[in-house]
Structures are given as structure tokens and as C-alpha cells.
Structure 1
């Protein structure tokens, strides 16, 4: 009887681990701005065209510009205001930042206010 329980538990754990690997395999990576990277030259609207995102996908922000750091904000309210700090969720400034998308709306705002209207964007992840 004990061997049956161990066997059933082993099968369950194996199936669970297999499911976890399958989920990871479906996550896609997107370099924001493609070859141009992230910065004042980025046409975010054009870059977003035709793309769809899923929760767990990764956005990669590559930049060398000292004013190209950005933040994620907690709501559409702060996004519309270009308020990078009152609704701050997380600050990014490494020049090679990776953001894993949460389910729902994800809001990105440049920390340098002068770039905000041009570079802010949001994506919905299923």
C-alpha cells in the first residue's frame, strides 16, 4: 500500500513539474524598440503594432541614454498623468532591464518627464 502512495505521489509531482516547464516554454521575449532599443528615437506606437502579449512574457529594455530610465506604475491614472513617481511600482535604470508582464494592463512611463508623452506605453497581457 505504501508503495502505491509513493508511486502516485511521484506521478503527481512529475506531472506538475512538466506543466511548469510547459508554461515557461511559452513565455516570449520582446526587445522594446527592436534593433533601435529603448530611447528618444523609439517609435513605441509602431513597435507595438501587431504584437500580442501574455502574462509571463518578458519585455527587454536596452538603452545607453542616461535619461532613458523608466518606471512601471500601478494604474492608468498615473500613466495618463505621466507621473513616474507617485504611482511607482518599480524603477528600472540598468540599461538592460527585463520586465515580466503581469496579467492585465502593464504601464510603462519614462522617468525623464520630457520623454513621457512620446515614450509612455501600456500593454495588456492575457
Structure 2
């Protein structure tokens, strides 16, 4: 049975739409994720405790901690460690000066454990939805 005029065009249009939809759906997660430099242009430094205020974070977003590794570090802690500026014995210290952390749903807590930096506001709590 012969197809009418325009059949080939409709077939290619349908393939094009399917391809476009596949591209959109494959990029959905990438489009959603954002990268946040902690502390903005000043980076991970003193008095950043309020930096997350007014910002919306999503699971999959990436926090970038930029700092001088001679003086600072980043340690993921629990709420007790955040409130009391303490770290557990199994806590992982990041110290590259350009650390990247992907957020999970819930609240994540980070402190600088060097010297008394946490007690002077070098800590953040970030809640991702």
C-alpha cells in the first residue's frame, strides 16, 4: 500500500519530536542542579553562618568551598557538632581549598575545625529540598 504525499515528512517530524523529548528528559536533572560558591565572592571564611539565608537549595546542588587551605578546612558534622563546634573521630576533613559537596535532601552542617574558627561563625547549615 502506497503512502500519501507528506508521509515521509510526518515520519521525520515525529522522530524529531521524540528526539527532542529524549534530550529534554535526559537533561532534566542537570538543569535542576545548581552550583553555589559558599560565602559568595568572599568564599569560605569568617561570619558565613548567615550565607544560606534567603537561598533555596535542592538535592543535587553542589556547594563549592573556596578557601586558603593553610588556614581553613571543611568538615561535615551533625547538628550537635554544628551547635558545639565539635567533630567526631570519624569525621572527614576536606582541605583542598576548592572542595565540592553535592547536597542530599535534608540539612547538612559544615564547620571549619581549625583553631576556633567555628566559634566565630565559620560554619553553615544548608537545608536542601
Whether these two folds match at TM > 0.5 is yes
The answer on whether the counterparts of 2:48 and 2:124 sit within 8 Å (CA) in structure 1 is no
Any unmatched runs of 5+ in structure 2? 1-17
Structure 1 gaps of 5+ residues are 1-10
CA-based RMSD of the aligned residues comes to 2.2
- Larger fraction in helix: 1
CA distance in 2, matches of 1:65, 1:110: 11
Q: Is the 8 A contact 2:69 2:96 kept in 1?
A: no
Which residue in the other structure is 1:54 paired with? 58
8 A contact 1:32–1:59 mirrored in 2:
yes
Counterpart residue number, 1:6: none
In the alignment, what sits opposite 2:36?
30
TM-score, normalization by structure 2: 0.73
Give me the whole-angstrom Cα distance separating, in 1, the residues matched to 2:93 and 2:54: 27
The number of aligned residues is: 109
SS at match of 2:100: strand
Compare CA radii of gyration and give the structure with the larger one. 2
Where in structure 2 are the equivalents of 1:104-115 lying within 5 Å? 104-115=106-117
| Paired position in structure 1 for 2:45 | 39
The secondary structure found in structure 2 opposite 1:44 is: coil
Measure, in 1, the Cα distance between the counterparts of 2:83 and 2:48: 18
1:109–1:18 CA distance, 2 compared to 1 (3 A):
same
TM-score (norm 1): 0.74
- Would you say the 8 A contact 1:55–1:101 is kept in 2? yes
Quote the offset at 1:19 in angstroms. Answer: 3.8
